[in-house]
Structure 1
Amino acid sequence: MAASIFIPSLMESGQYPHPLPKMITPMKNILFWLIVALAVSISVNAIGQSERTLDSKITNVTVFLAKAQITREISVRLEPGKSTLVFTGLAAQLDPQSIQVAGKGVFTILGTVHRANFLNELQRPKSLKVLMDSVDYLRKQVGWENAQKEILLKEEQMLLSNQQIGGKNTNLTVMELKAMTEFFRGRLSDIANARMKSDEKVLNYNQRIARLEQQITAQNELFHRSTSEVVVTVESPSATQASLTLDYVVANAGWLPHYDLRAINTQNPIQLSYKANVFQATGEDWKNVHLKLSTANPNLNGQKPELTAWYLNLDELQQVAKTYRMRATRGEAGAPAMMAKEALDQEADATTVAEMVETIQTSLNTEFDIALPYSVPSSGQPTAVDIRNYTMNASYQYAVAPKLETDAFLMARATGWEEFSLLPGEANVFFEGTFVGKSYINPNELKDTLSVSLGRDKRIVVKREKVKEFTSRKLIAGNERETFGYEISVRNSKAEPIQIVVEDQIPVSQHSQIEVLAIDLGGASYTKETGKLIWRWTLQPGDSRKVQFRFEVKHPKDKPISGL
């Protein structure tokens, strides 16, 4: 058989002297098909080693206070040998140092490469197409209205060009002339009204087009960007089904905490709803993804800064050496890297935890695992996410500072907030089902209680009046003595008992020649350093209480004082 393969070449070269047997023709066919098979094999191998684009899907997102970690997953069929797989359509601003690729299956990941793609832009969302379709529709409406106005204009010109009624030799009766005149007047009036209405419609359409185009421009700025790709090289000993997971960190994303504080009445605990405003403008819509919200900040370096020796030397031409310098790498904002505050060890009480959220605490941060899927568009606009609901024991009391305002404010003092890993954020406050205002929760400034104002209560009537009998001015030995007296009254018009804290003050001297003497403080708790007076009362329904206080200010008569 091996010799037969060479026979055609000998014959074609003219070196074979005798005619070939008839079996040579089938041999030609065999040789042809062997060559074809070899070419196909080479082609298949070349295809197997070429790049394969993967249409991956975002499945999980961990959102940090700044930035987010994206997880994409894909299942792909691998052929024997090496394969080059490309994750396309990724955000251009992803951090190449954060790329991680993992897989399941009988194959080996040989390496990964990140590269920019300046040809393909991010896929525009359906919402952008809806906006563009709306603009097209409105422009067609403008064109139709302009066409109608043109028809009306032609009709008006035709009527005005035929003002000679009936010709020169036609005698018209008065009634006929009147009828023709009324026809012209009525028709011209109708034309004018129709044109005015068309002008109004065109103006309205153009205004709507302008607003829509502003939205389109804003969204185009998000998606008119280059994309990036991650190229993964793998090798498999045999054909297999592989599952790949790609993780990377992107900028232009984060979340801000905010809260709802609800008090049903003064006999029940406070309900705290922990929420988040999640925002992102990465260019990739997150559709029905599994969200995790983390209190970690990836912008901060985890390395503790180290102090170096502080050297001093005499040198008149140079400044003293810097007091210290940080060895740790600085964060993006330029501030020295700092260790994150250690999270609390205790878990929240199981009866106060929302069923659909799990809190995961590590030694450096807290993660909220949101069980329900969420969609967050790449618009930069916040998406509200419910984290957890808590119940806090609270005591209620009223507080009033009648020198500033005579309205009494209901204050709630809640305890147990330390267990909830709170972050600084704005809070909406509700009392008895009514929104009463906004507050701000800053756990860094709280002590053992969280104080929240639940709004004003007009049913607590408070008055503060100057008592003339206690007011006087005297000159004694070159000094002027001024005496002041005030009366505060509080009445409880509610149908239930209340506890109330009343605050007032007397002045504090900041000069050695000015003396302040507390004559009668009406039983108040007095803080000399600040001059603050505090009364704590319990008033039954319909009860009233009054208190008076007096003080004296002594100063040189020829030196006026400020602040009195």
Structure 2
Amino acid sequence: MGKKLLSALLLFIHFAVFAQDNQINVNSKIAGVTVFMNGAQVLRQSDLVELPQGVSLLVFSGLSSSIETQSLQAKGEGSFTILSVTRQNNFLLEKKKSEQKLTLEAKAGEISDKMMALRNEIAVYKSEEEMLMKNQTVMGPNVNYDLVKLKAALDFQKQRLSEAKAKQISIEKEINQLQEQLNKLNRQIAEVDGKPIGNASDVVVKVSTKTATKGKFTLTYLVKNASWYPSYDIRAIDVASPIQLVYKANVSQNSGEDWKNVKLTLSSGNPSNNNEKPKLPTYSLGYLSAGYSFFNPTAATSNLVKGKVVDNTDNSALPGVSIRVKNSSVGTVTDPDGNYSIQMPVGANQLVFSYIGYDSQELTASYGQLNVRLKQDTKALQEVVVTGYNKKIDDALQGRAAGLQVRVRGTSSIASVPLEVASVEKQTNVSFEIKMPYTILSDGKQAAVDIGNYDFKAAYEYYAVPKVSADAFLTAKITDFNDINLISGEANIFFEGTYLGKTLLDVQQADTLTISLGVDKNVSVKREKQKGYTERQFIGSSQKDSRHFVIEMKNRKSQAINLTIEDQIPVATNSDISVEKQELSKAKLDEVTGKLIWQFLLQPNEQKKLDLKYQVKYPKNRPVNIE
């Protein structure tokens, strides 16, 4: 209450200073939104405004409370001069409720009224019951009993008591049923309403005119609590068919303003990034101090991180929590039970967790489990007043068209809409402009938009490293993907009609995009050590150890497959140790690493065997670890 009074006082003082100016309330609506990976730029247009001569204050009320003040700018069409732009939080303006919430609240009110009427009926029946119980004596003690009348009175009393009890039970059942309906409606209202996001903003544009005129105004500003990230569905019918790729954008916003029927653009840019070019400091070389050690990074690989997100106070699961890899386009959301899993790109180790009404958390994530407890946001928004505005130049968006579908998570229905999407590659980012008006409500829910469906010719190959794993992994290589402006993100893999799991689609590769389609159990690979061949010989001060391995593989599929097998022989790192290659079955050998590669076409139901033999010579008094 104190903050509202303070805000009202500040507003009064602010407008009192400009009491000599004309104050005009301006009607406006959101015409376009550009959604970035983190945040969004809103384009708001006014109706035609009548401007009197002199200085006027144009008040745009009920805007988002999460406006980035530095981004606020105003433009106008007409004979006038914009003097300043001021933004302030309006604690007195109640946020408009959505039509859906108003409908739900009306239904809840009707049910509450009906429950009250039923409770009144129960009270009436209870009063009748009490009256019947108090009037059990139908005659005085000195009056002769008329048995017929007595029986009739008792029967009437019994009948009315039974009817009253039955009515109460029936009404209580009806009240319980209505209470269940009311509870469901209240849960829906809470879901629609979301968590508190603060108060609305007012923007005041101060203009000056030499004569009375008319004009239209445009406001642009950045808002928080909005984002999108790409994801993919990758499908392959079999190894003879093309790769089918569905390119999706997962959009959500909780800015406090519903984006209804707006021109929607999705951009891979991030306006919060530091735009300063890097500076290279002086490389000073000196003697190493004691305890200094070099950092030796391990081989970079993508990691799967999974866990659960809960409320910090009651440990309740939080569904729909946005999870993003910091400084990346990779993201996901928690399921209805608060669980999540996400593929971490190479070199990334920071995850950002954000949810409506909760403090965001940035955590270090490594391979494995990461459970998160989010705290509710108790920070109060403070009033901000700014004068002046910056200028930005909007890029013209143009490009080719593609089909688009709209899919809402959690449902099986897909509404196919013949919308157009213009894909535009700019100097520093990629944009997708949706040609038809689009609606994203301010409820924090994820809306999945299919940017396009594409078919690619793919070169399928199976890879197996039987020394490490007995599984054969199917990969698909694509070379003609650069024209559709893919962005790195998670992908759901479907092969031969079966969901195989997730993979990370890394488009930062060179000209070839390699997609891992997972394990195919119809291709078997086995590596066995031949014990009968293993022998040890002593020659003077040296000894020799021999090894023999047999690699067997079989294609149980109905199509021929390309199969690559990798293995290795040891590499000597000491001049006293030597390795003799005895049988490599025509493998390609890398002399530096000892890696062996076999590549061949395996026909349906075909089986092959490979022999790998080598001998190691080393000093007999020096133990060597030989497989």
| In 1, Cα distance between equivalents of 2:125 and 2:577 | 88
Aligned residue number for residue 31 of structure 2: 59
Structure showing the higher helix proportion among its residues? 1
| In 1, Cα distance between equivalents of 2:481 and 2:57 | 52
Residues 518, 550 of structure 1: 8 Å contact kept: yes
Distance 1:463 1:491, change over 3 A: same
1:548 aligns with 2:522: no
Aligned residue number for residue 514 of structure 2: 451
Distance 1:395 1:86, change over 3 A: same
Identify the match of residue 301 of structure 1 among 274, 277, 298. 274
Distance 1:544 1:73, change over 3 A: same
Residues 135, 213 of structure 1: 8 Å contact kept: no
| In 2, Cα distance between equivalents of 1:433 and 1:372 | 33
Identify the match of residue 372 of structure 1 among 425, 436, 447. 436
User: Greater Rg, structure 1 or structure 2?
Assistant: 1
| In 1, Cα distance between equivalents of 2:568 and 2:170 | 72
Aligned residue number for residue 219 of structure 1: 194
Residues 360, 367 of structure 1: 8 Å contact kept: yes
Q: Which residues of 2 match residues 462-473 of structure 1 at below 5 A?
A: 462-473=525-536
Unaligned runs of 5+ in 1: 1-45, 163-168, 172-182, 314-332, 336-346
1:288 aligns with 2:352: no
CA RMSD of aligned residues (A): 5.0
What's the % identity of the aligned pairs?
Answer: 35
Residues 579, 614 of structure 2: 8 Å contact kept: yes
Distance 1:455 1:233, change over 3 A: same
Residues 66, 254 of structure 1: 8 Å contact kept: yes
Residues 562, 601 of structure 2: 8 Å contact kept: yes
Report how far residue 535 of structure 1 moved. 1.3
| In 2, Cα distance between equivalents of 1:75 and 1:385 | 31
Q: Secondary structure at the match of 2:532?
A: helix
Q: Secondary structure at the match of 1:419?
A: helix
Amino acid at match of 2:486: L
| In 2, Cα distance between equivalents of 1:508 and 1:139 | 81
| In 2, Cα distance between equivalents of 1:202 and 1:557 | 88
| In 2, Cα distance between equivalents of 1:161 and 1:152 | 14
Identify the match of residue 78 of structure 1 among 50, 63, 67. 50
Identify the match of residue 245 of structure 2 among 252, 258, 272. 272
Report how far residue 124 of structure 1 moved. 3.0
Give the alignment's TM-score, normalised by structure 2.
0.62
Q: Secondary structure at the match of 1:470?
A: coil
1:536 aligns with 2:611: no
Residues 142, 205 of structure 1: 8 Å contact kept: no
Larger deviation, residues 420-429 vs 265-274: 265-274
Residues 122, 227 of structure 1: 8 Å contact kept: no
Larger deviation, residues 125-134 vs 203-212: 203-212
Distance 1:209 1:274, change over 3 A: closer
1:231 aligns with 2:211: no
Larger deviation, residues 248-257 vs 229-238: 229-238
Unaligned runs of 5+ in 2: 1-17, 136-144, 148-158, 287-324, 328-396, 405-418
Report how far residue 56 of structure 1 moved. 0.8
| 1:26-57, Cα deviation, whole Å (9 max, x unpaired) | xxxxxxxxxxxxxxxxxxxx999531111210
Distance 1:239 1:207, change over 3 A: closer
Q: Which residues of 2 match residues 190-339 of structure 1 at below 5 A?
A: 208=184, 211-212=187-188, 215=191, 219-222=194-197, 224-235=198-209, 237-240=211-214, 242-307=215-280
Q: Secondary structure at the match of 1:119?
A: coil
Residues 294, 368 of structure 1: 8 Å contact kept: yes
Residues 543, 617 of structure 2: 8 Å contact kept: yes
| 1:117-165, Cα deviation, whole Å (9 max, x unpaired) | 2222432323444554566567678878988999999999999999xxx
Distance 1:161 1:544, change over 3 A: farther
| In 2, Cα distance between equivalents of 1:502 and 1:129 | 64
Give the alignment's TM-score, normalised by structure 1.
0.68
